[in-house]
A = this chain, B = another copy of it.
Amino acid sequence: MKKIAVFTSGGDAPGMNSAIRAVVRTGIHYGFEVIGIMRGYQGMMAGEYKKMELRIVSNLLKHGGTILKTSRSKEFMTDAGKQKAADFLHSQEIDGIVAIGGNGTLTGLLEFRKFYKGKIIALPGTIDNDLYGTDNTIGFHTAVQTALDVIDKIKDTAASHERVFIVEVMGAHSGFVAVHVGICGGAEEILIPEVNTSLLSTVTHLISGWRKGKTSSLIVVAEGCAEGGAYQVLEKTKQLDLSVEIGSDGLDCRAVVIGHIQRGGTPVYFDRLLASKLGLFAVEKLIEGADNVMVGEIDNKCVLTPIEDAVYKKKAVDPFLLKAAEILSI
């Protein structure tokens, strides 16, 4: 093995640049040539790349986004696209690739396996934390922190106006961001895709809190929860006939969608550290012959998981957290 390639794909996540830096420097440290493929699978098909030198990745730790750019490619979904991408890698004599991305990127790798002859290793780069085989994905901690900073600000207004704020965070299929943010932001209610919650019981609980002296409240909603996003929860709540419960005026409720800013920004220390460790570990394992695996960190140890498991097995939200969310918001 003499030459490896690294690329980022799918939605960008804070810490991807730290991962690129780790892969490049570890590769060079062990005597390999490292190239960076631009724009994920799109650039791989088009043969867009640059040779990575030590200094290209200087001062990269603190920057959000990815210097290798990223994209979602339709053409790569086809066999012709995948063949084109593999042809490029073969023509450049790339012995192994390090892919940084989330669920979609890894699913792509599973099929790309049939076309590309070199080794394949993946790094979990996604804010959603929805990959099996790692306690945390690169970008998750920063996304939670960003959402929490927003919620800290919103709570100022909630307290001043004595309002209920319904805040939507990322998480199309999983409630990791919502649960972490919810506990740390002091949410009275957290709605996630994994748990069926009746809105009526949610609101009843809220009202009982106000009776015990609360004068403002926070509901955190994952974008993919059964009741819909923040605006839908707001609408449905209004349709419940709560006049008996809370008098004619009712609670003053507002909806907020945090959105894209959860993807960007300077990565927090944890994501820089995780990306550094996983990037280093990935290259070392690639050299040792690892193939078709994702690197991850479980119980503070770097480990390998078959990409297939990473994609298809389900990582669950810790029930202890759900219990904590309930008890601590009384």
Contact surface of A with B, Cβ cutoff 8 Å: 8, 12, 14, 16, 18, 21-22, 25-26, 28-29, 39, 54-55, 58-59, 61-66, 69-71, 135, 141, 144-146, 148, 150, 152-157, 159-162, 165, 180-181, 183-186, 212-214, 254, 256-257, 259-261, 263-266, 268-270, 272-273, 276-277, 280, 299-300, 302, 318, 320-321, 323-324, 327-330
Contact of A25 among B213, B260, B321, B328 (CB under 8 A): B328
User: Which B residues touch A213, using CB under 8 A?
Assistant: 54-55
What distance in Å separates the Cβ of A34 from its nearest Cβ neighbour in chain B? Answer: 13
The chain B residue with its CB closest to the CB of A68 is B160
User: Which B residues touch A261, using CB under 8 A?
Assistant: 150, 153-154, 256
A328 B153 Cβ-Cβ under 8 A: no
Instruction: Give the CA-CA distance A28 to B148 in the complex, in Å.
Output: 26
User: Which B residues touch A268, using CB under 8 A?
Assistant: 145, 268
- The A contact surface, by secondary structure, is helix
A39, A141, A212, A276, most chain B CB atoms within 10 A: A276
What distance in Å separates the Cβ of A14 from its nearest Cβ neighbour in chain B? Answer: 8
Instruction: Give the CA-CA distance A145 to B162 in the complex, in Å.
Output: 25
A273 B12 Cβ-Cβ under 8 A: no
User: Which B residues touch A165, using CB under 8 A?
Assistant: 260
B328 A156 Cβ-Cβ under 8 A: no
Instruction: Give the CA-CA distance A157 to B21 in the complex, in Å.
Output: 18
Instruction: Give the CA-CA distance A265 to B320 in the complex, in Å.
Output: 27
Instruction: Give the CA-CA distance A28 to B259 in the complex, in Å.
Output: 36
The chain B residue with its CB closest to the CB of A14 is B156
A12-B161, A25-B328, A26-B328 given; A64·B153 CB < 8 A: yes
Other A-B pairs beyond A62-B152, A64-B157, A276-B328, 4, CB < 8 Å: A12-B156, A61-B184, A66-B160, A157-B264
A156 B256 Cβ-Cβ under 8 A: no
Instruction: Give the CA-CA distance A327 to B327 in the complex, in Å.
Output: 45
Instruction: Give the CA-CA distance A258 to B65 in the complex, in Å.
Output: 20
A28-B330, A183-B273 given; A300·B302 CB < 8 A: no
User: Which B residues touch A181, using CB under 8 A?
Assistant: 269
User: Which B residues touch A55, using CB under 8 A?
Assistant: 213-214
A302-B320, A327-B26 given; A161·B69 CB < 8 A: yes
User: Which B residues touch A21, using CB under 8 A?
Assistant: 328
The chain B residue with its CB closest to the CB of A12 is B160
Contact of A280 among B64, B180, B328 (CB under 8 A): B328
User: Which B residues touch A71, using CB under 8 A?
Assistant: 161-162
What distance in Å separates the Cβ of A80 from its nearest Cβ neighbour in chain B? Answer: 18
**Pairs A–B under 8 Å by Cβ, sample size 18:** A25-B327, A25-B330, A26-B327, A58-B214, A62-B155, A64-B153, A70-B160, A148-B269, A153-B260, A153-B264, A155-B264, A156-B263, A157-B264, A183-B276, A270-B270, A276-B324, A276-B328, A280-B327
